[in-house]
Amino acid sequence: MTKLEVVVTATDDQKHEDDVESVRVHGEQVFTCGGDNKVKVWDHHDLKLLHEFKAHDYSINDLLVLGSTLFTCSVDATVKSWDLNTFELKNTLTNHEESVRKLATNGTHVFAGDDKGEVYVFDESGAVQASYGVVEEVWSLHAQDDLIYSVRDRGVTITQTKGQKNKFTVIKSLEGRAPICVAGNNLTFPDTSGLTIRVHDNTAGSYKLKGELKGHEMIITALGGVGEDRLLSAGWDNEARLWDLTSLKLLASCGLPGYTNGIAASQDGYIFAAGAGGFVCKMKIS
- For 19-36, the pLDDT digits (tens) are 999 999 999 999 999 999
Closest CA to 119 of 133, 137, 135: 133
- Predicted pLDDT of residue 163: 72
Cα distance between residue 131 and residue 257, in whole Å: 38
Instruction: Indicate the pairing of strand 209-214 with strand 186-190.
Output: unpaired
Give the number of other CB atoms < 10 A from CB of residue 64: 20
Confidence of residue 166 (pLDDT cuts 50, 70, 90): confident
Q: What is the mean pLDDT of the chain?
A: 96
What confidence score (pLDDT) does residue 204 get?
Answer: 83
Domain count, the chain: 1
Q: Which domain holds residue 110?
A: 4-285
Residue 154: burial class (beta carbons within 10 Å; 0-12, 13-18, 19+): exposed
Over residues 93-108, the pLDDT tens digits come to 999 999 999 999 999 9
Is residue 39 within a helix (H) or strand (E), and if so which, with residue range? Answer: strand 38-43
Q: Say if residue 64's pLDDT is above 90.
A: yes
Give pLDDT tens digits for 231-272.
999 999 999 999 999 999 999 999 999 999 999 999 999 999
How do residues 188-235 score in pLDDT, each as one tens digit?
Answer: 999 999 999 999 999 988 899 999 999 999 999 999 999 999 999 999
Percent of the chain past pLDDT 70, that is, above it, reads: 100
Confidence grade of residue 156 (pLDDT, cut at 50, 70, 90): very high
What confidence tier does 162 reach under pLDDT thresholds 50, 70, 90?
confident
* CATH code for position 28: 2.130.10.10
Give pLDDT, residue 25: 98
What pLDDT was estimated at residue 285?
A: 97
Q: Give the integer Cα–Cα distance in Å for 130 and 122.
A: 7
Q: Residue 256's CB: how many other CB atoms inside 10 A?
A: 23
